[in-house]
Amino acid sequence: MGSLPVAASALCCASVRAGQDRDGHGKWIDHCNHHDPVGRQPRAARIFQRDRGAEYCLIRPRYRVMRRDAGFSIVELLIAMTIGLVLTGGALTILLSIRSSFSTTTGVGVLSDDGRFALDFLRSSIRGAGFIGCSDSSANPSVVGAPQIINALNGSGTMPFNFNQALGGYEYKNTSPGQNYALGAPAVDATVTDWTPSLDASLNSTVPPSGVAGAVAGSDVIVIRTGTTTAPVNVTAITSGANNFTTNSSTGFAAGQLAVISNCAVATTFQISGVASGNVISHASGTASGTNVSSSFTYPYSAGAMLYGIDTQVYYIGIGADGDGALMRLDLNGGTAFSAQELVPDVENMQVLYGYDANGTQSVSQYYTANSIFPAVLNPAQIMTVKIAVLVATPPNTVPRPSTAQVFNLLGTQVTAPQDTRQRQVFDATIALRNAVP
């Protein structure tokens, strides 16, 4: 029960005193200390006003006043819930925006790294194309004194062992400059005639993902023949008809490795048949591709000629470990059988053009696709530079899905990308062959 209003409390304890309220001595009797109009226990009171015989007392209750809890109304609850939802939605929006920005930033970083790595791998190999010791297979035959290359290997005209040519290449159908190509999900193309010239049989016979079994449709293939990282050594004199020679120091060469002896005027490519104690390297004949045609050297070399390792590398777009396109490399590693390696993931397309010296001026007069040069349309020894472009993508869910398909220009070839959540960028470079430029 609630407390009485102040005015009512005062009235309850007020007594209007007339003459009958005086005691026998004529003093006023204070009824306030005894008055309890509602039957409660006596209350403390104090006189706060006197006026012509009237006293008014304000009761100060001694009992505890019980107050009812007000709580929240339905309207208040709805308002509070609405405010909470608005604040939560704002926080989630900020969180999602931060996450999206992080994904985009991370994706762009990965994209830049992948593009740079892809070009670095290609640039390093292409620059050294044609290096055959101090001789080079890319020497322009129009230049007086160009070195002679003697290829003493079986299968010397096939792609892996054609060390008379610094470069080789395969152009995928309908992807020349000015043409259009639509990317789809990366799919293996096992039809060798979809490239011009047709892919070499040695690529088609390798175990997946090597060779054509790992090459996807729509991209060019480039072949590079160059030296290995094995340190060169000097050799003793080699007479014509000799089947062995000695090096002046221990070597990192092994039996079965492909090598070249060069005196800077003439070079002979051959397979090392064996390495014996005393740094003796033997030369024997065989029948399989990559082995020696004869059991002895056909050209004499004086002491001081150099022995180098040689290699063939093939770059193409295959299917990576994540199921997407990737830059792949087949490498003889100085031997006679290719091994495959995934170099850079999320590379979807590659286009290649070859800068050709048609006038003997040792400068590029025109760029051609591979089918315009190889295998014997034009002279590969007159290739001075290579233009190469790769289309690189981020992982999925990096950017919002575009409303229209994006088209990318790869050296004049218009490549249409799928409408997905990947960001893409073209990376290209023009690379000079060090052994061809003056």
Tell me the per-residue pLDDT of 325-382, one tens digit each, with 9 for 90 and over: 999 999 988 888 888 889 999 999 999 999 999 988 888 999 999 999 998 788 888 9
Q: What is the pLDDT of residue 187?
A: 87
Residues 274 and 101 sit within 8 Å (Cβ to Cβ) = no
For residue 70, is it within any domain?
no
- Residue, of 94 and 36, whose pLDDT is higher: 94
Q: Residue 96 to residues 91, 101, 229, 421: CA-CA distances in angstroms?
A: 9, 8, 50, 16
For residue 306, is it within any domain?
yes
For residue 420, is it within any domain?
yes
Domain co-membership, 392 together with 328:
yes
Domain co-membership, 136 together with 48:
no
Average confidence (pLDDT) over 114-136: 89
Tell me the pTM. Answer: 0.75
Lookup: tokens for 344: 């850079």
Confidence check: pLDDT of 8 > 50: no
Domain co-membership, 281 together with 185:
yes
By mean pLDDT, which of 68-77, 143-152, 196-205 is the weakest?
143-152
Lookup: tokens for 255: 């039996």
Residue 88 has φ and ψ, to the nearest 5°, of -65, -45
Nearest CA to 118 among 313, 350, 355, 433?
Answer: 350
Q: What is the pLDDT of residue 210?
A: 45
Confidence check: pLDDT of 66 > 90: no
User: In terms of residue numbers, what domain contains 36?
Assistant: 6-60
Confidence check: pLDDT of 279 > 50: yes
For residue 154, is it within any domain?
yes
Strand-by-strand arrangement of the 44-51 sheet: 15-16, 54-60, 44-51
Lookup: tokens for 215: 């090459």
| Pairing verdict, β 413-416 and 180-182 | parallel
Boundary (domain end) residue, out of 60, 76, 92: 60
For residue 73, is it within any domain?
no
E strand segments, 320-346: 325-331, 339-345
Boundary (domain end) residue, out of 27, 42, 60: 60
Give the pLDDT band of residue 169 (cuts 50, 70, 90). very high
Confidence check: pLDDT of 206 > 70: no
By mean pLDDT, which of 163-167, 195-199, 377-381 is the weakest?
377-381
For residue 223, is it within any domain?
yes
Domain co-membership, 44 together with 128:
no
Confidence check: pLDDT of 190 > 70: yes
Domain co-membership, 37 together with 184:
no
Q: What is the pLDDT of residue 228?
A: 86
Domain co-membership, 117 together with 50:
no
Strand-by-strand arrangement of the 413-416 sheet: 180-182, 413-416, 407-410
Domain co-membership, 53 together with 123:
no
Lookup: tokens for 314: 């093939």
Confidence check: pLDDT of 20 > 80: no
For residue 333, is it within any domain?
yes
Q: How far, in Å, CA of 60 to CA of 32, rounded?
A: 12
Confidence check: pLDDT of 145 > 70: no
Average confidence (pLDDT) over 49-70: 53
Residue 17 has φ and ψ, to the nearest 5°, of -95, 125
Average confidence (pLDDT) over 44-70: 52
Domain co-membership, 274 together with 162:
yes
Q: How far, in Å, CA of 161 to CA of 270, rounded?
A: 10
At CA 303, angle to CA 302 and CA 308, rounded to 5? 95
Q: Residue 56 to residues 33, 48, 296: CA-CA distances in angstroms?
A: 12, 6, 141
Provide the mean pLDDT of the chain.
81
Nearest CA to 315 among 367, 370, 363, 271?
Answer: 370
Confidence check: pLDDT of 411 > 60: yes
Domain co-membership, 110 together with 56:
no
Q: How many structural domains does the chain have?
A: 2
Straight-line distance from the first to the last Cα atom of the chain, in angstroms, rounded to the nearest whole number: 111
For residue 82, is it within any domain?
no
Residue 22 has φ and ψ, to the nearest 5°, of -85, 150
Lookup: tokens for 273: 């048949």
Q: How far, in Å, CA of 145 to CA of 251, rounded?
A: 31
Domain co-membership, 228 together with 115:
yes
Residues 426 and 131 sit within 8 Å (Cβ to Cβ) = no
Q: How far, in Å, CA of 134 to CA of 56, rounded?
A: 127
Q: What is the pLDDT of residue 19?
A: 42
Q: How far, in Å, CA of 380 to CA of 373, rounded?
A: 7
Average confidence (pLDDT) over 421-434: 94
Domain co-membership, 163 together with 282:
yes
Handedness of CA 184, 192, 354, 261 (dihedral sign): positive
Domain co-membership, 124 together with 248:
yes
